[in-house]
Every structure is written in C-alpha cells, then in structure tokens.
C-alpha cells in the first residue's frame, strides 16, 4: 500500500494540487510527481485530478503513471502554512539562486512580482522564506522547471525530518484536511529522513491544447 499526499495551491478545495508526493512505507521511499505532468485520461495536467474527481481520480491518474496509491490525503494550503508558522530550518544552498515570486504567497505572480534570492552555503528559512524556497518556479535567468522546485522541496523535507519536525501538525484543523480514511495517515507517521527520495523526471516539455505540460517518455 502507498499513500499520496497532496497540497492545494490555494486554501479551497476547487484549486489545483500544487504538490503531490507518494509515500511508500514498504519501499521506504517518497516519490514526487511534477504538477505539470500530463494525464492522457484526464486530458489535463495531473494537478487538476483532485478538483475534477477527488481522491479516486487523483489515485487513478497516478496509476496511469505507474505510481499506484491505495490511500490519499489532501491538505489545504493554510494547513501547511499553520504547521510551519513557528518553524525555522537551515537548508544547504549549492549555488546562488534568484527567482521571481508573487508579492505574497497567496497571490498570483501576474498581479505583481518581487525577486527572491538564496545564497550559498546555507540559508536559515522561516515564515514566508520557507514558502519562497518550496514554491518559487520562475528563475530570473536560466531554465525554469517544476523539477528544480521539487529538488528544493526534497532538501527541505529531509532537513525537517532530520530536525524531528512533526508533520502531523498540518492535521490540526479537520476542515483543512481531506482523506480516504484513518489509514491514510499510517504511512505518513513512518516517514524518516533517511528514506529514498525520488521524482518522476523522465519527461519532456510539450504544449497540448495551449497548456505547457510535461509528458513522460515511452517506458
């Protein structure tokens, strides 16, 4: 059994899922699914699956990608914001990073942007800086891809686990949590920092029906 954990990109259940991670306790692995991954069945990005059909459709979209999940746990954005509110974490930074980011985490970048930077060898993140680290998608120079953002998310998750962060803090408000049942939490409680971190990265960028998407290569 594996459990998919997803986070909405807004604090409403009709939003897209901004982050999708499959937790597999048996394999001791965490697998990140790019939000822009194309789903032929949905004829849409995989991050639209939950808003279109809830947990069943999200799980079905992952099966289509060869990453099955029997259980599902979805969180509104404010659940994660509240859980991280008093958190400070030191993350390694290998090279100077500069991104365009919305004026606030809950705004659209089209409504205004600011430049955020992360400098080697490490950054102490707290408050909005955590959300900039895990959410920034548009590099000031050079290529921009969800895969780069996922790499930063993996660094943060590993550091939080090493620091003993309790991820169940995000479950404090039941109205901000949707799941397929109590068993959806079982695997989440087992996650450790030394697990294997993976990502679906055998993809190529394409444009389908005007949407910029990532399409998996033939397997």
**Partners of 115 in the β-ladder:** 100
Q: Enter the CATH code of domain 3-80+166-216.
A: 3.30.420.590
Token digits of residue 22 = 């499959």
Confidence class of residue 219 from pLDDT cuts 50, 70 and 90? low
Residue 7 φ/ψ, nearest 5 degrees: -125, 125
Looking only at Cα atoms, what is the longest distance across the chain? 44
Q: Which range scores top for mean pLDDT: 110-114, 121-125, 136-140?
A: 121-125
Task: Note the pLDDT of residue 144.
Answer: 80
Give the pLDDT confidence of 156-215 residue by residue, as tens digits: 999 999 999 988 889 999 999 999 988 888 888 889 889 999 999 999 999 999 999 999
Task: Supply the pTM of this predicted model.
Answer: 0.92
Confidence class of residue 48 from pLDDT cuts 50, 70 and 90? very high
Tell me the domain boundaries of the chain.
3-80+166-216, 88-162
């Amino acid at each position: 059994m594996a459990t998919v954990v997803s986070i909405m990109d807004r604090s409403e259940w009709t939003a897209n899922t901004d982050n999708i991670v499959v937790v597999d306790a048996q394999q001791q692995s965490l697998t990140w699914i790019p939000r822009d991954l194309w789903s032929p069945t949905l004829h849409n990005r995989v991050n639209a699956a939950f808003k279109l059909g809830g947990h069943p459709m999200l799980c079905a979209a992952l099966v289509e990608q060869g990453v099955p999940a029997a259980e599902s746990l979805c969180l509104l954005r404010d659940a994660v914001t509240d859980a991280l509110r008093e958190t400070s974490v030191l993350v390694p930074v290998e090279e100077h990073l500069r991104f365009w980011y919305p004026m606030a985490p809950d705004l659209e970048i089209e409504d205004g942007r600011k430049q955020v930077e992360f400098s080697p060898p490490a950054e102490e993140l707290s408050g909005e800086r955590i959300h900039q680290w895990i959410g920034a998608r548009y590099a000031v120079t050079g290529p921009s891809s969800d895969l780069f953002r996922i790499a930063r998310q993996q660094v943060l998750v590993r550091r939080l686990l090493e620091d003993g962060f309790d991820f169940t803090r995000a479950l404090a408000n039941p109205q901000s949590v949707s799941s397929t049942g109590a068993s959806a939490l079982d695997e989440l409680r087992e996650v450790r920092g030394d697990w294997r971190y993976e990502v679906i990265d055998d993809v190529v960028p394409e444009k389908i029906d005007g949407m910029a998407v990532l399409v998996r290569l033939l397997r």
